[in-house]
Homo-oligomer: A and B are copies of this chain.
Amino acid sequence: MASRPSTTLSGPLARRLADSGLRATPQREVVYDVLLKKRDHPTAEEVFARVKPALAGISLATVYNCLETLVQCDLVRAVNFERGPTRYCPNLRPHAHFHDDATGATHDIDLPPAVLTKIKSVLPAGYEANAVEITFRGKAKSAR
């Protein structure tokens, strides 16, 4: 009995948006695609630049809007490091971030459940955490 989804609602993005009563727009699709394509934790400005070729007329405000929407839908995570510009990350598994002082790059570090458990064990009774954020700062020797 659900009314037939209109033509534009299709991909996983559209579904998620619809679940929140939001619409799938070209801007949202392209912003999300850009994040999936190059997972280097871009800033809003960087996303803006990457989106432009596909959607010449898009505005920076819209990029901010789309990013916030994606974060709300739990499709993307916002990452902050010391008052620098917010960066965006489509990796939804539990992970920490490693900020390379030398290059400014941000790397994902997977967090095994056991470690996550141990970390949460430091909370005294009465503290109920909805989320943990773990950030390393240091130098990463080149991958080789």
Contacts and interface: CB of A to CB of B under 8 A. Distances in A.
Interface of A: 78, 80, 82-83, 86, 96, 98, 101, 107, 109-112, 115, 118-119, 121-124, 126-143
Contacts of A96: 122
Contacts of A131: 136-138
30 contacts: A80-B80, A80-B82, A83-B86, A109-B123, A109-B124, A110-B122, A111-B122, A112-B122, A115-B118, A115-B121, A118-B119, A119-B119, A123-B136, A126-B140, A126-B141, A126-B142, A126-B143, A127-B136, A127-B138, A128-B138, A128-B140, A128-B141, A129-B138, A130-B137, A130-B138, A131-B136, A131-B138, A132-B134, A132-B137, A133-B134
Contacts of A126: 140-143
Contact of A119 (B98, B134, B141, B142): B134
